[in-house]
Structure 1
Amino acid sequence: MQHADSLIWISGATEGIGLGLSRNVPYAEARVINLSRRTHPAIESVHLDLADPSSWNAVAAHFRETLAGFRGKRAIFVQNAHLKGMTGFAGEVPAADYARDLTANMVAPIRLGEAYLRAVIDSGYTGEAGLVMMSSASARSPYEGQSVYCAGKAALEMWVRVVRRELLQRGRETIWVTAVRPGFVDTGLTRHVAAMADRDYPVASMLRGQIERGEGVMDIDTAARHIWAALPADRSLLLFGDQVQVDRAGSPA
C-alpha cells in the first residue's frame, strides 16, 4: 500500500497471537507487514529468523528504508515471534540447542526492538511510534524446564521499563514502548509446551488440563482485540488475565 496511514510490523504473524493481531488490526488504510521465516498468505512478508543474526540486520534495514519519508499517522512494531523447540532443564539439554534458544528468544527480541527505535529516531518521524514487546507471566514465575524463556521475558520487561524512561528523559513523547502479558491464549506454542513430558516441564500436565477444560483460555482473535484496544499504552506493562499490576513509571504497584 503506497499511501498507508499506518505502518504495522508484526513478527510471527503467521500463527498464534501474531496471526490474531494481523487479522484484527483496527486502523484503516494500514500497511501490515509480517516478519517471519514463513510467508503470510494474505499480507506482505519480510524474512526473519530469530536464530540468524544476519536476518536481524536485514529487518533493521527494512525498518530504516520503510520509515524514510513516511508521513502517516502511526508506525507500530509488535515483537511477537518466538522460536519453539528447546524445553528442558539447564545442563541437561544439548548445549547447541540451549545456545540457539538464548540467541533466538532472549537476544533477538531486544535487538529487534532497539533496531526499530533507532530507525524511528534516525528517520525523524514525528507521528505516533509504538513498540509492543510480547511477554508472559513467566517473567515473574520460575517454571522448571523454562530457564531461558523465563529469564528472557524478565529481561525484556526490564528493558522496556528502562527504555521508556530513556525516551521520556530525551523528550521523545511521541514514541511509546510497552510489554504485554497476554494471559492464557490457546496457541501452537502453548500446546507445544503442554505436550512436553512432565519430567522436562513439570507444569505441562496442568497446562493440558486447563486447555482441555477451556478454563480461562482465550482464542487468538479475542486476545488480539484486547491488545489492540489497549494501545497506545500509557504503562510499561499491560496485563490480561494476570494479577500483578505495574504503575505508569514501571514499578510494581
Structure 2
Amino acid sequence: MQSADREIDSLIWISGATEGIGLGLARNVPHAAARIVNLSRRPHPDYESVFLDLADPASWEDVGAHFAAALAHFRGSRAIFIQNAHMKGITGFVGEVPPDAYARDITANVAAPLRLGEMFLRAVRESGFAGEAGLVMMSSSSARSPTIGQTVYCAGKAALEMWVRVARRELAMRERRNIWVTAVRPGFVDTPLTRQVAAMADSDYPIASQMRKQMEEGVGVMDIDTAARQIWAALPTDRSLLLFGEQVRR
C-alpha cells in the first residue's frame, strides 16, 4: 500500500462513477498518475470500487474508513472527493408518496451527502495530509427552484449548498488553506436519472414534458463528457458555487 502510494500523485474518489456525470468525471480526470475510486453499489470494470449505498448508513462508515486508510500514508499532490451519487428517489406530491420510500429518500439524498463530505474533511485533517485537498458536492438548480414533485430533492440540494458555505467559513477560520470546498450545479445533462424523471407523467412531475421537449430538441443539453470536462477545468476553485448552463437569479 505504501509503496504503491508513492507512485500515485492524485487520489480521487467519485461517488456514483458507474453512470451519468460520475462516469464522465471518472473518465475525464485531467491528472496523471491518478488513483480513481468509484463509490457505488455497483462495481465499475475499469475503476477500483468501494461499496456505497446512500440509503445504508453502515456503508457510509465503511467509506469513511476507506478515506482514512488511503490518506494515512498518501504523499501525493492532491486528494479530491466528488460527492456525485444520487439515489433514484421518490418523485411525487408530498403526503401522497409511500412513507417508507419518502424516509429512504431523505436518508439517501439529504443525510448521506453531508455525512460523506464531513467524513472526507475529517480524514484529511486527521491524516495530516498537506497537499491540495478538494471536496466537490454536486448540486442542482433545484437548490433555488421549488420544483413540484421534488420536495426531498430540492431540500437536499439547498441544504448541501448551505453546508458548503458554512464549511468554507469554518475552514477559513482554522486557516486550512490547502483545502477547498465547492458545490457544482452542472446544468442540464443527459443522464439515466434525467431520462427517468423526464419519462414521468406530468400529473406527478409537472415539468416532465418540458424536459422531454428540451431533450428531443437538444437545446442546452450536455452529454456527460462535455459536462465533466467543464467541471474539471474549473477546479480547484475559491468559489462556493460553480454554475454551468443556467442563469443566476439575482
User: Into which bin does the TM-score normalised by the smaller protein fall?
Assistant: over 0.9
| Partner of residue 148 from structure 1, selected from 139, 148, 152 | 152
1:144 is aligned with what amino acid? I
The reply on whether 1:226 has 2:237 as its aligned counterpart is no
Structure 2: which 5+ residue stretches go unaligned? none
Q: Give the distance between the partners of 1:118 and 1:192, measured in 2 at CA.
A: 35
**Counterpart in the other structure of 1:201:** 205
The reply on whether 1:238 has 2:242 as its aligned counterpart is yes
- Deviation (angstroms), 1:244: 1.4
**Counterpart in the other structure of 1:123:** 127
Structure 1: which 5+ residue stretches go unaligned? 246-251
4+ runs deviating over 2 angstroms: none
Question: Can you list the C-alpha shifts for 1:88-122, whole angstroms capped at 9, x where unaligned?
Answer: 01100000000000000000000000000000000
Q: Give the distance between the partners of 1:244 and 1:176, measured in 2 at CA.
A: 22
1:200 is aligned with what amino acid? D
What is the TM-score of this pair, normalised by structure 2? Answer: 0.97
2:72 is aligned with what amino acid? A
**Counterpart in the other structure of 1:248:** none
Q: Give the distance between the partners of 1:22 and 1:135, measured in 2 at CA.
A: 18
May I ask how many residue pairs the two structures share in their alignment?
246
**2:180 counterpart SS class:** strand
The reply on whether 1:50 has 2:33 as its aligned counterpart is no
Please, what is the CA RMSD of the aligned residues?
Answer: 0.9
What is the TM-score of this pair, normalised by structure 1? Answer: 0.96
1:180 is aligned with what amino acid? V
1:153 is aligned with what amino acid? K
**Counterpart in the other structure of 1:192:** 196
1:54 is aligned with what amino acid? A
**Counterpart in the other structure of 2:163:** 159
- Deviation (angstroms), 1:242: 1.4
**1:66 counterpart SS class:** helix
**Counterpart in the other structure of 2:31:** 27
**Counterpart in the other structure of 1:113:** 117
Q: Give the distance between the partners of 2:141 and 2:82, measured in 1 at CA.
A: 18
- Deviation (angstroms), 1:69: 1.4
Q: Give the distance between the partners of 1:43 and 1:95, measured in 2 at CA.
A: 36
Q: Give the distance between the partners of 1:143 and 1:85, measured in 2 at CA.
A: 14
Q: Give the distance between the partners of 1:53 and 1:115, measured in 2 at CA.
A: 12
- 1:34-183 matched pairs, under 5 angstroms: 34-183=38-187
Q: Give the distance between the partners of 1:48 and 1:122, measured in 2 at CA.
A: 22
**1:173 counterpart SS class:** coil
- Deviation (angstroms), 1:233: 1.1
The reply on whether 1:14 has 2:50 as its aligned counterpart is no
1:142 is aligned with what amino acid? P
- Deviation (angstroms), 1:152: 0.3
Q: Give the distance between the partners of 2:201 and 2:237, measured in 1 at CA.
A: 38
2:245 is aligned with what amino acid? G
Q: Give the distance between the partners of 2:90 and 2:71, measured in 1 at CA.
A: 35
**1:93 counterpart SS class:** coil
**1:235 counterpart SS class:** coil
- Deviation (angstroms), 1:147: 0.3
Q: Give the distance between the partners of 1:9 and 1:173, measured in 2 at CA.
A: 21
1:50 is aligned with what amino acid? L
Q: Give the distance between the partners of 1:69 and 1:44, measured in 2 at CA.
A: 18
Percent identical pairs in the alignment equals 74
1:36 is aligned with what amino acid? S
